[in-house]
Amino acid sequence: MAGPRHDPALYRDRDVVPVRRALVSVSDKTDLLSLATALADAGVEIVSTGGSATLLRDAGYAVTDVSAITGFPESLDGRVKTLHPSVHAGLLADLRLEDHEQQLAQLGIESFELVVVNLYPFVETVRSGAQGDDVVEQIDIGGPAMVRASAKNYANVAIVVSPESYASVIESVRAGGTSLVQRRELAARAFAHTAEYDRAVATWFAEGTLTAKDLPAHLTIKAERLATLRYGENSHQRAAIYTRTGGHGIAQAAQLQGKEMSYNNYVDADAALRAAFDMIKPAVAIIKHANPCGIAVAAPSALDPIASAHLRAHECDPVSAFGGVIAANRTVTLKMAENLRDIFTEVIVAPDFEPEALEVFKLKKNLRVLRLPVDWQQERMDVRLVSGGLLLQDADRFPDDIESVAKDWQLVSGEQPAADEMQNLIFAWKSCRAVKSNAIVLAKGSATVGIGMGQVNRVDSCRLAVERAGDRAAGSVAASDAFFPFADGPQVLIDAGITTIIQPGGSVRDAEVIEAARAANVTMFFTGERHFFH
């Protein structure tokens, strides 16, 4: 068996490494001049590229361009700058080995003891909504190569990938050099940095294939722990909240006040967003145990639309709304906050809040107030863990032009409703997507009046929705997330005075169901699309 490539006896102690030469190439230029001041004061030669070199030179610091080291100009619109032996030999030379030291001398290459590199803003570019080549151009090639080379050679080189590390590096430079322990810690951060970067790039490419015939063969999901929660769904379960790289949902919301968020708070807040943000008009959803207590859009000509939407949603089931989670798809106003003053609420989440509304909420110190990130949007894909793996599917979304889609719904019984009643029907159809299967939603004037959910048969969901609605069931419309397997469910709705029913259709007994509607002179539509939510 061959022996080790290097004789351990040749290694020399490299605990503290003085910094004589630094390579600086950063996209994030935060506090760069503070670092440059410390390096210049210590007599460190600064080698730099592109915008970093320009910034340092304009600030009065002596800078050696990388092109002067490589003898090769930056080319291909900056794609090739540091990919050269004169750079990478200086990064990878292990100066604990006499042979490496001699080879550098023969090649006329000097080593680096400090490398300051952070990568092109790929994630930020994706979050901005950029597409295609604009994103591709933010895939860094030379940067990761320098970071990984320096991190591999941590015995000799300190690699810095974030301005957060500048303070400790400045202190070490002034004290005479970086320590082995410090360089190893910096290397660990560097490898984590490039790993996260590569995952983000891989995820973007994978998501780009989601419009193709096949879903990606490989799926990379990167998440970092944001906080450890008190417990999970129950007090004996451990739990934490993680943020996914590139995420822009409830996990990225800023908590403005209130008690610590719980596992169930996050689940309910996400369900509330799902319901409220399906609506184009100002809308509010109130959620309890992942199911809606009420969903509504603003009344026509309301002076304060979002406050109106909340009151109408609350009226659906005031008892269940106690201790609920609320999502609004518009800025929460002072009027809406005042309406909530005497209603116990666990969480309220919205795009923003009027300052006066936040002052009212301060009187409810336990109320959790969450502001969505400015780039919040509904996910394109749904992921769910199962034993030994995960499930991936397209997110169940409604088209923005659902009114045009509604024109293609099949009218199988009764007469075409008037325009305002069609809007109510569209609202009910959207609302049933947010309700746990089997879902039945009764609505009037684009506000829910009765909801039946989570039953193991559809007829029981019909009974529950009618019971919740009471006298309000008469004259309302009903939406069912899936087809009726028998006529008994629609008959419960018909007996309660429902005027219109919307459902996917597709049952072997559709003819029986249609006949029940026709016999009662009830309008019925088939959409051809279901909206299960398990």
How far apart CA 380 and CA 397 sit, in angstroms, is 8
Q: Under a CB-based contact definition with an 8 Å cutoff, are residues 291 and 435 in contact?
A: yes
* Structure-token match 């959409």, residue found: 527
Q: Under a CB-based contact definition with an 8 Å cutoff, are residues 385 and 393 in contact?
A: no
**400: number of Cβ within 10 Å:** 9
Which tokens hold the place of 324?
């609920």
Select from 22, 51, 218 the least CA-distant residue to 120.
51
Tell me how many degrees the CA angle 335-341-344 measures, rounded to the nearest 5: 130
Provide the b/e sequence for 24-55 (b: ≥16 CB within 10 Å): bbbbeeeebeebbebbbebebbbbbbbebbeb
Provide CB contacts within 8 A for 33, sequence distance 6+. 55, 56, 59
Among 29, 84, 259, 289, which one carries the catalytic annotation?
A: 289
Among 29, 84, 152, 259, which one carries the catalytic annotation?
A: 152
Query: Under DSSP, is residue 257 helix (H, G, I), strand (E, B) or coil?
Result: strand
Provide CB contacts within 8 A for 3, sequence distance 6+. none
Provide CB contacts within 8 A for 294, sequence distance 6+. 285, 286, 312, 313, 314, 315, 316, 317, 321, 447, 448, 451
Which tokens hold the place of 38?
């410390």
**108: number of Cβ within 10 Å:** 7
Determine whether 289 is an active site residue.
yes
The helix (H) or strand (E) run that includes residue 228 is strand 223-228
How far apart CA 431 and CA 446 sit, in angstroms, is 10
The helix (H) or strand (E) run that includes residue 134 is helix 133-136
CA end-to-end span of the chain, whole Å?
59
Which tokens hold the place of 4?
């080790």
Select from 367, 340, 331 the least CA-distant residue to 255.
367
**458: number of Cβ within 10 Å:** 25
Determine whether 531 is an active site residue.
no
Tell me how many degrees the CA angle 221-225-231 measures, rounded to the nearest 5: 115
Select from 402, 349, 346 the least CA-distant residue to 376.
349
How far apart CA 385 and CA 392 sit, in angstroms, is 9
Point out which residues pair with 168 in neighbouring strands.
none
Query: Under DSSP, is residue 530 helix (H, G, I), strand (E, B) or coil?
Result: coil
Q: Under a CB-based contact definition with an 8 Å cutoff, are residues 331 and 353 in contact?
A: yes
Active site residues: 152, 289
